[in-house]
Amino acid sequence: MASAKKRKQAKRSKRSEPRRAKKAPAGRGARLTVVTLGVQDLARARAFYCDGLGLRASSSSNESIVFMDAGGVVLALYRRKLLADDANLPSEGTGWGGVTLARNVASKAAVDAALEVAKAAGATILKPAQQAFWGGYSGYFADPDGHPWEVAYNPYWKLDAAGRVALPK
Protein backbone atom coordinates (compact mmCIF):
# COMPACT_ATOMS: atom_id res chain seq x y z
CA MET A 1 0.00 0.00 0.00
CA ALA A 2 2.76 2.44 0.95
CA SER A 3 4.59 1.78 -2.32
CA ALA A 4 1.46 2.56 -4.40
CA LYS A 5 1.08 5.85 -2.54
CA LYS A 6 4.76 6.72 -3.22
CA ARG A 7 4.30 5.96 -6.95
CA LYS A 8 1.29 8.33 -7.09
CA GLN A 9 3.25 11.07 -5.33
CA ALA A 10 6.19 10.54 -7.67
CA LYS A 11 3.86 10.84 -10.71
CA ARG A 12 2.37 14.07 -9.33
CA SER A 13 5.80 15.61 -8.68
CA LYS A 14 6.96 14.68 -12.19
CA ARG A 15 3.92 16.45 -13.67
CA SER A 16 4.71 19.62 -11.75
CA GLU A 17 8.30 19.72 -13.04
CA PRO A 18 8.81 22.02 -16.02
CA ARG A 19 9.03 20.22 -19.33
CA ARG A 20 12.44 20.20 -20.92
CA ALA A 21 12.85 21.08 -24.55
CA LYS A 22 13.61 18.10 -26.71
CA LYS A 23 17.03 18.12 -28.30
CA ALA A 24 17.01 18.47 -32.05
CA PRO A 25 18.34 15.43 -33.89
CA ALA A 26 21.96 15.71 -35.06
CA GLY A 27 22.20 18.06 -38.01
CA ARG A 28 18.99 19.97 -37.14
CA GLY A 29 18.39 23.06 -35.09
CA ALA A 30 19.93 25.61 -37.46
CA ARG A 31 22.44 28.00 -35.97
CA LEU A 32 24.45 30.48 -38.00
CA THR A 33 28.05 30.41 -36.80
CA VAL A 34 30.17 31.58 -39.75
CA VAL A 35 29.65 33.87 -42.74
CA THR A 36 32.48 33.59 -45.27
CA LEU A 37 32.92 36.32 -47.85
CA GLY A 38 34.74 35.49 -51.05
CA VAL A 39 37.15 38.34 -51.80
CA GLN A 40 39.45 39.21 -54.71
CA ASP A 41 42.25 40.70 -52.62
CA LEU A 42 42.57 39.26 -49.10
CA ALA A 43 44.96 41.96 -47.84
CA ARG A 44 42.65 44.76 -49.06
CA ALA A 45 39.60 43.07 -47.51
CA ARG A 46 41.43 42.53 -44.21
CA ALA A 47 42.45 46.19 -44.12
CA PHE A 48 38.86 47.28 -44.81
CA TYR A 49 37.29 45.15 -42.08
CA CYS A 50 40.04 45.40 -39.47
CA ASP A 51 41.60 48.83 -39.96
CA GLY A 52 38.54 50.52 -41.44
CA LEU A 53 35.59 49.01 -39.57
CA GLY A 54 37.43 48.06 -36.40
CA LEU A 55 36.98 44.28 -36.35
CA ARG A 56 39.89 42.28 -34.97
CA ALA A 57 41.44 39.34 -36.78
CA SER A 58 41.66 36.19 -34.66
CA SER A 59 45.02 34.57 -33.99
CA SER A 60 43.68 31.61 -35.96
CA SER A 61 43.83 33.76 -39.13
CA ASN A 62 46.67 33.22 -41.56
CA GLU A 63 47.83 34.33 -45.02
CA SER A 64 44.99 32.33 -46.64
CA ILE A 65 41.99 33.21 -44.48
CA VAL A 66 40.93 35.84 -41.93
CA PHE A 67 38.54 35.10 -39.04
CA MET A 68 36.89 37.91 -37.05
CA ASP A 69 34.36 37.86 -34.23
CA ALA A 70 31.33 39.79 -35.47
CA GLY A 71 29.26 39.71 -32.29
CA GLY A 72 28.97 35.98 -31.78
CA VAL A 73 29.11 35.03 -35.46
CA VAL A 74 32.45 34.51 -37.17
CA LEU A 75 32.99 36.68 -40.23
CA ALA A 76 35.59 35.03 -42.45
CA LEU A 77 37.41 36.39 -45.50
CA TYR A 78 38.68 33.91 -48.09
CA ARG A 79 39.82 34.25 -51.68
CA ARG A 80 36.76 34.20 -53.96
CA LYS A 81 38.09 31.61 -56.40
CA LEU A 82 39.17 29.23 -53.63
CA LEU A 83 35.80 29.59 -51.88
CA ALA A 84 33.94 28.89 -55.13
CA ASP A 85 36.16 25.88 -55.84
CA ASP A 86 35.53 24.55 -52.33
CA ALA A 87 31.76 24.81 -52.85
CA ASN A 88 31.90 23.43 -56.43
CA LEU A 89 30.56 26.72 -57.82
CA PRO A 90 31.79 28.91 -60.69
CA SER A 91 33.90 31.82 -59.42
CA GLU A 92 33.15 34.21 -62.26
CA GLY A 93 30.31 36.66 -62.18
CA THR A 94 29.56 39.78 -60.24
CA GLY A 95 26.50 41.74 -59.26
CA TRP A 96 23.54 40.88 -57.12
CA GLY A 97 23.98 37.52 -55.39
CA GLY A 98 20.66 37.60 -53.52
CA VAL A 99 22.22 38.11 -50.06
CA THR A 100 22.83 41.13 -47.87
CA LEU A 101 24.59 41.26 -44.53
CA ALA A 102 23.13 43.50 -41.87
CA ARG A 103 24.12 45.23 -38.67
CA ASN A 104 21.46 46.59 -36.33
CA VAL A 105 22.33 49.58 -34.18
CA ALA A 106 20.61 51.42 -31.34
CA SER A 107 19.61 54.69 -33.03
CA LYS A 108 19.24 56.63 -36.27
CA ALA A 109 22.37 58.58 -35.38
CA ALA A 110 24.28 55.29 -35.03
CA VAL A 111 23.15 54.30 -38.56
CA ASP A 112 24.51 57.58 -39.93
CA ALA A 113 27.77 57.18 -38.01
CA ALA A 114 28.29 53.56 -39.12
CA LEU A 115 27.77 54.50 -42.78
CA GLU A 116 30.30 57.33 -42.43
CA VAL A 117 32.86 54.96 -40.89
CA ALA A 118 32.32 52.47 -43.73
CA LYS A 119 32.66 55.20 -46.36
CA ALA A 120 35.87 56.49 -44.76
CA ALA A 121 37.22 52.92 -44.81
CA GLY A 122 36.63 52.64 -48.56
CA ALA A 123 33.03 51.39 -48.84
CA THR A 124 30.68 52.58 -51.54
CA ILE A 125 27.39 53.95 -50.21
CA LEU A 126 24.65 52.10 -52.11
CA LYS A 127 21.71 53.79 -50.41
CA PRO A 128 22.05 56.70 -47.99
CA ALA A 129 20.32 56.30 -44.63
CA GLN A 130 16.61 57.09 -44.72
CA GLN A 131 13.26 56.21 -43.22
CA ALA A 132 12.42 52.66 -44.29
CA PHE A 133 9.01 51.49 -45.47
CA TRP A 134 8.86 49.05 -42.51
CA GLY A 135 9.14 51.83 -39.90
CA GLY A 136 12.85 51.83 -39.21
CA TYR A 137 15.81 53.76 -40.54
CA SER A 138 18.52 52.20 -42.70
CA GLY A 139 21.10 52.58 -45.42
CA TYR A 140 23.39 50.29 -47.42
CA PHE A 141 27.07 50.18 -48.30
CA ALA A 142 29.19 47.79 -50.34
CA ASP A 143 32.58 46.60 -49.16
CA PRO A 144 35.52 46.78 -51.62
CA ASP A 145 34.45 43.41 -53.11
CA GLY A 146 30.86 44.55 -53.60
CA HIS A 147 29.28 42.64 -50.68
CA PRO A 148 26.23 44.68 -49.65
CA TRP A 149 25.74 45.57 -45.99
CA GLU A 150 22.65 47.16 -44.47
CA VAL A 151 23.02 49.27 -41.34
CA ALA A 152 19.63 49.58 -39.64
CA TYR A 153 17.85 50.96 -36.62
CA ASN A 154 14.72 48.90 -35.96
CA PRO A 155 12.50 50.48 -33.29
CA TYR A 156 10.61 47.18 -32.94
CA TRP A 157 13.66 45.13 -31.95
CA LYS A 158 15.66 45.49 -28.76
CA LEU A 159 19.43 45.07 -28.60
CA ASP A 160 20.96 43.32 -25.60
CA ALA A 161 23.95 44.69 -23.68
CA ALA A 162 26.33 43.13 -26.23
CA GLY A 163 24.48 44.77 -29.15
CA ARG A 164 22.85 41.54 -30.34
CA VAL A 165 19.26 41.53 -31.55
CA ALA A 166 16.88 40.07 -28.98
CA LEU A 167 13.97 38.95 -31.16
CA PRO A 168 10.48 38.93 -29.66
CA LYS A 169 9.41 35.43 -28.61
**For the chain, first and last CA: distance in Å?**
47
All structural domains of the chain: 32-91 (3.10.180.10), 100-169 (3.10.180.10)
DSSP state, 120?
A: H
Q: Is residue 76 within 8 Å of 86, Cβ to Cβ?
A: no
SS3 60: coil
- Quote the Cα angle for 21-22-24, to 5°: 125
Closest CA to 117 of 55, 56, 34, 58: 55
Q: What is the pLDDT of residues 146-164, one digit of tens each?
A: 999 999 999 999 999 988 8
Q: What's the predicted TM-score (pTM) here?
A: 0.76
Q: Is residue 45 within 8 Å of 4, Cβ to Cβ?
A: no
Q: What is the pLDDT of residues 52-99, one digit of tens each?
A: 999 999 999 999 999 999 988 999 999 999 999 888 888 887 677 778
